[in-house]
Amino acid sequence: MATFTERMGPVLLFWLGLCLSGTWAVDKGNFKTCDQSAFCKRQRAITPGESPYRALLETMELTNTKLTLQLINDNNKVRLLLELYRLQGNITRVKINELKPLKPRYEVPDVLIREPPTEPLSLLSQDENGVVLSLGAESQRVIVSARPFRLDIVEGRDVLMSLNSRGLLGFEHLRMRKDTFSYKVTSTVASVWDNIKRVFSSSQADPEADNKEATDPPSQVETTKEEEEKVEDGMWEETFKSHTDSKPNGPSAVSLDFSLPGVEHVYGIPEHADTLKLKTTDGDPYRLYNLDVFQYELYNPMALYGSVPVMLAHNAQRTTGIFWLNAAETWVDISSNTAGKTVFGKMLDYVQGSSETPQTDVRWISESGIIDVFLMLGPTPREVFSQYASLTGTQAFPPLASLGYHQCRWNYNDQEDVRAVDAGFDEHDIPYDFIWLDIEHTDGKRYFTWDPHKFASPKEMLQGLMDKKRKMVAIVDPHIKVDTNYKIHNEIRSRGFYIKNKDGADYEGWCWPGSAGYPDFTRPDMRAWWAGQFAYDQYEGSMENLYTWNDMNEPSVFNGPEVTMHKDALHGSWEHRDMHNLYGFYVQMATAQGLIERSGGVERPFVLTRAVFAGSQRLGAVWTGDNAAEWDHLKISIPMCLSLGLVGISFCGADVGGFFKSPSSELLVRWYQTGAYQPFFRAHAHLDTPRREPWLFGPENTALIREAVRQRYTFLPYWYQLFYHAYQTGEPVMRPLWVEYPQDPATFALDDEFLLGRDLLVHPVTEEGARGVTAYLPGKDEVWFDIHTFQKHNGVQNLYIPVTMSSIPVFQRGGSIIPRKLRVRRSSACMEDDPYTLYVALDNRRTAEGELYIDDGHTFNFEKREFIHRKFSFTNNVLSSVNLEPDAQFTTKSWVERIIILGASKPSKITLRTADDQENQLEFDFDASMSVLTIRKPGMNAGADWTMTLQ
Ligand SMILES: *[C@@H]1O[C@H](CO)[C@@H](O)[C@H](O)[C@H]1NC(C)=O
């Protein structure tokens, strides 16, 4: 015990200090600015317009699928190798590496779902100034200019994107450290070199092909020894606060600028607590470095838990994207020639004829690795989503239950507490699907175990939930308590699976359990072992309704630099520096694999993660981390999830109610109403906050929260269909308006409202005491129906909507058909066989369409085409249901119990014709004041073909 408190002392003091500090603010001093990050400072100091890089056209080689070309830096004569590929679907890939690096540089593995298929490239023209290539079958070309080196991607007469047009390409070649250049150093390098070769030949399919150049003896040294290189502070060692980063490889940063003519709006590069439209970075650049930021501040470019290096650019003509595949610490600068100009200023420029084409310039800076960038050329938002999905995959199709409501807190104290909270939901008639256990459920923060007193019989508890068709999530974090009485630790240590520190011993850091080791999830054998720990006979007390939450996987190291891992820690022969932003991705990958394997590959996993990278969408859900019970945090949840959705990660949510602090009952209600319309819907609260289960705020607020959660459940069929679509296409479930109205500039910066799919428009109430909100209803020919009153509104308009506490404004698009289930029960599983109500909202042409997707809700059998996918359409007064995927097979007990047609006129009779040619007259009601037609008990099976004629 004495040793325990002794060891825990620093951690406790650290957290107590932060918790008691009172004022809400991130301690910015704990995190680096660009100026405090030596490579960022060096790269940002490169002056525009003086690029030393020249393309050596005589080295050009062109095969059918690939252009290679050497670049030379005229200042130091170091050569780079450029590779350019045209990939299928309007994607151009540009890779730049050293021609002969001293040792291999890190290339991000496991994020691309396959080696992307290429398309032909062909030479159009060439002279001493450059070459022109045609890209694929489209009318796109790439112009390579030789001096200075520059790439322009052109379609017709439009330049879509230019690379190094501002001359900011920077590539720090690997080098020997001058002051210690001696036999000793070279021999160390040589043995490291042998190691690397070994690793490569065992882990790569064809090491010779990829690393032929690299495995030649380092010849660069000869050339670089000659030149006078400036050794700056921070190149070979860097100190931040009390931490020194030894940099055995020296400077290795890469950077490149991209110009986007005609573009004023760029988006993406989550995760930041900022607006949807990215701002110009007059101060610090946006930073991508997965960090556990305590009490994060809003509206700034500081790094947060996740990093997805993907930016979208949009204007009324085109959408494009840049995917910078690099997992090291990265900074992104954005500048624009129209930044700061008012609309009036821009108009003045226009009438005075002095307006230049608007242009946004971005610059990416990464600490190590190579330049590997995918230029996704659109032209529409949908095509960019599909292009990005073709590289990194689509959203994992989640179990239906995980789209329901989740009740979490740090912590539910014991089994009795879990039982009482579970019963509270029944007592107050509020549905929920998952109850969550945070770190206190474990035996002393030893994951995969249970507190022997508080959770003495976990199976009994899980069985109790299962009897009600409910589920549980328990946390499993990647920091492993160093304790020789802990099986997990002993196995990881004995197998050598821990990340090593720079001296080769197991890396240790402070986290929740005290001293902790961090498994090396980059290793496939480690991930396979970890996955095995979720087997029912390994994870004692687990059952099939227990799922997993991976927190702290940035990774969080309380006593590490910037609360994370030392960059010189080692993953085999790679430094943590090279792949920091990938760590959390791998943790979630191994965990999801575990949940799949424990069921013999049958069941879909559900794993929540805090840290993400490109490709994390394939693995589960993400939340926006430790937010606060403040109105601004409710508001920022919208752009934060929209930004993640734009880069493929649809399954996003923010802690409902706010994690730190206590919400007023008004804020809590408004947060439930918003969360009910965001993809991942979970309430969560800090250990020190008063309890806040939905029924603790008086009967009126209980009723309001109940109504919000029930609304969520009525829309589950629509959510499920949207996720199926996201799984198929990569399109975001929750999306900014400009995705559907790409030519309407009024939508480009909107982030206080959003669309779910194409058909639901949601404008949350995020102001205290609001009496009304103004919603922008887009679409010149659209009509929008208030889902509560059925009142019809025309687009385009800014509509002022008075609000009470009872709900937030939500509209169904005229032209859509949305299936809902109105008989809300305890959990989504209890509603499985319940009947559907179809909401048919007619557009101005009196037509509408929609879809319905049904499967078993939890297995991978949908991959074997065991599902129902219907298309509904209403045209010429005929509503019909047809099979969208006739080769798929599934049966459902659910039937259609009601059809509500909005914007209808009164028919004299309604005839249903079923597949077996039976005809039936149906009963209906017509509300003339609202033009709402309700067809009662039409009674068809939800999987059947039918037509319904209104006469
Ligand atoms: C590629 O771009 C062209 C022109 O911008 C467009 O017509 C075509 O549909 C795009 N193809 C794909 C697969 O995105």
Q: From the centroid of its chain, how far is CA 606?
A: 15
Using the 8-state DSSP alphabet, how is residue 746 labeled? G
Q: Tell me the H-state helices in 294-412.
A: 343-351, 381-392
* Residue of 90, 135, 317, 375 to test ligand 1 pocket, by largest number of atoms within 8 Å of CB: 90
The CATH superfamily assigned to 740-950 is: Golgi alpha-mannosidase II (2.60.40.1180)
Strands (E), 216-292: 237-240, 243-246, 254-261, 265-268, 286-288
Phi, psi of 821 (to 5 degrees): -120, 115
Residue 508 has pLDDT above 70, yes or no: yes
Phi, psi of 879 (to 5 degrees): -105, 130
Percent of the chain exceeding pLDDT 70 equals 90
- DSSP helix/strand/coil, 775: strand
What average pLDDT score do residues 25-33 get?
90
Residue 74 designated active-site:
no
Residue 36 has pLDDT above 70, yes or no: yes
- Express each pLDDT in 448-496 by its tens digit: 999 999 999 999 999 999 999 999 999 999 999 999 999 999 999 999 9
Q: So what's the pLDDT on residue 178? A: 77
| Amino acid letter, 157 | R
Atom of ligand 1 nearest to the CA of 89: 13
C-alpha 319 – ligand 1 centre gap (Å) = 11
Residues 6+ apart with CB under 8 A from 951: 877, 907, 908, 909, 910, 911
34-171+250-392: CATH architecture: Sandwich (2.60)
C-alpha 334 – ligand 1 centre gap (Å) = 27
Q: Smallest Cα–Cα separation from 641: which of 292, 394, 266, 271?
A: 271
Asked if 537 contacts 528 with a C-beta cutoff of 8 angstroms, the reply is no
- Express each pLDDT in 920-951 by its tens digit: 999 999 999 999 999 999 999 999 999 999 99
Whose tokens are 């459920």? That residue is 441
Q: How many CA atoms lie within 13 A of 881 on its CB side?
A: 27
Tell me the β-bridge partners of 895: 941
How far CA 58 is from CA of 74, 78, 79, 101, in Å, comes to 16, 16, 14, 21
Which residue has the CA at smallest separation from atom 1 of ligand 1?
90
Asked if 96 contacts 81 with a C-beta cutoff of 8 angstroms, the reply is yes
C-alpha 91 – ligand 1 centre gap (Å) = 10
Between CA 250 and CA 254, with CA 251 as vertex, the angle to 5 degrees is 145
Q: Which of 274, 284, 451, 626 is catalytic?
A: 626
Atom of ligand 1 nearest to the CA of 318: 5
C-alpha 90 – ligand 1 centre gap (Å) = 6
Q: What is the four-CA torsion angle of 698, 702, 704, 708, rounded to 10 degrees?
A: 160
381 lines ligand 1 (CB under 6 A): no
Asked if 355 contacts 578 with a C-beta cutoff of 8 angstroms, the reply is no
DSSP of 550-609: E-STTT--TTSGGGS--TT-EETTEEHHHHGGGHHHHHHHHHHHHHHHHTTT-BPP-EEE
Q: So what's the pLDDT on residue 209? A: 39
Residue 87 has pLDDT above 70, yes or no: yes
CA distance 2 to 180: 45
Whose tokens are 């010189």? That residue is 568
C-alpha 380 – ligand 1 centre gap (Å) = 8
Which residue has the CA at smallest separation from atom 12 of ligand 1?
89
Cis peptide before 605 (omega within 30 of 0): no
| Amino acid letter, 191 | S
Asked if 669 contacts 801 with a C-beta cutoff of 8 angstroms, the reply is no
C-alpha 124 – ligand 1 centre gap (Å) = 20
Residues 6+ apart with CB under 8 A from 636: 273, 274, 298, 299, 627, 654
DSSP of 725-737: HHHHH---SEE-H
138 lines ligand 1 (CB under 6 A): yes
Using the 8-state DSSP alphabet, how is residue 278 labeled? P
Asked if 647 contacts 310 with a C-beta cutoff of 8 angstroms, the reply is yes
What average pLDDT score do residues 140-151 get?
96
- Express each pLDDT in 700-755 by its tens digit: 999 999 999 999 999 999 999 999 999 999 999 999 999 999 999 999 999 999 99
Asked if 568 contacts 494 with a C-beta cutoff of 8 angstroms, the reply is no
Residue 80 has pLDDT above 90, yes or no: yes
C-alpha 89 – ligand 1 centre gap (Å) = 7
> By mean pLDDT, which of 17-31, 505-519, 560-574, 725-739 is the weakest?
17-31
- Express each pLDDT in 630-682 by its tens digit: 999 999 999 999 999 999 999 999 999 999 999 999 999 999 999 999 999 99
234 lines ligand 1 (CB under 6 A): no
Atom of ligand 1 nearest to the CA of 383: 14
Residues 6+ apart with CB under 8 A from 338: 264, 346, 358, 359
Handedness of CA 772, 778, 779, 785 (dihedral sign): negative
> By mean pLDDT, which of 174-178, 288-292, 684-688, 770-774 is the weakest?
174-178
Report how far apart the first and last C-alpha atoms of the chain are (Å, whole number): 82
Residue 626 designated active-site:
yes
Tell me the β-bridge partners of 334: 362
Phi, psi of 187 (to 5 degrees): -70, -35
Q: So what's the pLDDT on residue 344? A: 64
* Residue of 86, 87, 92, 383 to test ligand 1 pocket, by largest number of atoms within 8 Å of CB: 383
CA distance 73 to 224: 12
C-alpha 125 – ligand 1 centre gap (Å) = 23
Residues in the chain: 951
* Residue of 88, 92, 138, 318 to test ligand 1 pocket, by largest number of atoms within 8 Å of CB: 138
Phi, psi of 38 (to 5 degrees): -55, -45
Q: So what's the pLDDT on residue 345? A: 63
- DSSP helix/strand/coil, 919: strand
- Express each pLDDT in 156-183 by its tens digit: 989 999 999 999 999 999 999 876 544 3
Atom of ligand 1 nearest to the CA of 378: 14
154 lines ligand 1 (CB under 6 A): no
Which residue has the CA at smallest separation from atom 13 of ligand 1?
89
> By mean pLDDT, which of 210-214, 613-617, 799-803, 842-846 is the weakest?
210-214
383 lines ligand 1 (CB under 6 A): yes
Q: Where in the chain is the domain with CATH 2.60.40.1180?
A: 740-950
90 lines ligand 1 (CB under 6 A): yes
Q: Smallest Cα–Cα separation from 337: which of 359, 308, 363?
A: 359
89 lines ligand 1 (CB under 6 A): yes
CA distance 217 to 229: 22
Q: What pairing do the DSSP bridges indicate for beta strands 546-550 and 607-609? A: parallel
Q: So what's the pLDDT on residue 206? A: 41
Q: So what's the pLDDT on residue 189? A: 44
Q: Smallest Cα–Cα separation from 557: which of 518, 586, 599, 601?
A: 518
Q: Where in the chain is the domain with CATH 2.60.40.1760?
A: 34-171+250-392
136 lines ligand 1 (CB under 6 A): no
Q: Which of 199 and 809 is assigned the larger pLDDT?
A: 809
Q: So what's the pLDDT on residue 457? A: 98
379 lines ligand 1 (CB under 6 A): yes
Residue 208 has pLDDT above 60, yes or no: no
282 lines ligand 1 (CB under 6 A): no
Residue 636: both structure tokens together: 């920022």
- Round the average pLDDT of the chain to a whole number and report it: 92
> By mean pLDDT, which of 87-96, 115-124, 207-216, 506-515 is the weakest?
207-216
- Express each pLDDT in 531-556 by its tens digit: 999 999 999 999 999 999 999 999 99
Atom of ligand 1 nearest to the CA of 90: 1
Residues 6+ apart with CB under 8 A from 941: 892, 894, 895, 896
Strands (E), 764-847: 772-777, 783-786, 792-794, 797-802, 810-813, 816-820, 836-841
Atom of ligand 1 nearest to the CA of 387: 14
Atom of ligand 1 nearest to the CA of 379: 5
C-alpha 302 – ligand 1 centre gap (Å) = 35
CA distance 144 to 164: 11
C-alpha 384 – ligand 1 centre gap (Å) = 10
Residue 699: both structure tokens together: 């009967």
Whose tokens are 């990958």? That residue is 589
- DSSP helix/strand/coil, 220: helix
Q: So what's the pLDDT on residue 184? A: 40
Residue 400: both structure tokens together: 């239906």
Q: Smallest Cα–Cα separation from 262: which of 183, 170, 160?
A: 160
Asked if 827 contacts 431 with a C-beta cutoff of 8 angstroms, the reply is yes
Residues 6+ apart with CB under 8 A from 84: 66, 67, 68, 69, 92, 93, 94, 95, 121, 133, 142, 144, 151
Angle between helices 415-427 and 458-467 (to 10 degrees): 10
Q: Which of 257, 438, 551, 568 is catalytic?
A: 551
Atom of ligand 1 nearest to the CA of 88: 13
- DSSP helix/strand/coil, 681: strand
How far CA 667 is from CA of 626, 637, 661, 805, 925, in Å, comes to 17, 13, 12, 10, 39
Whose tokens are 């501040």? That residue is 297
- Express each pLDDT in 889-907 by its tens digit: 999 999 999 999 999 999 9
Which residue has the CA at smallest separation from atom 5 of ligand 1?
379
C-alpha 645 – ligand 1 centre gap (Å) = 22
- Express each pLDDT in 302-340 by its tens digit: 999 999 999 999 999 999 999 999 999 999 999 998 766
Q: Smallest Cα–Cα separation from 281: which of 326, 349, 334, 343?
A: 334
CA distance 732 to 730: 6
Residue 712: both structure tokens together: 């969520």
Tell me the β-bridge partners of 921: 911
C-alpha 155 – ligand 1 centre gap (Å) = 11
Residues 6+ apart with CB under 8 A from 191: none
Phi, psi of 428 (to 5 degrees): -100, 10
Phi, psi of 479 (to 5 degrees): -85, 130
Atom of ligand 1 nearest to the CA of 386: 14
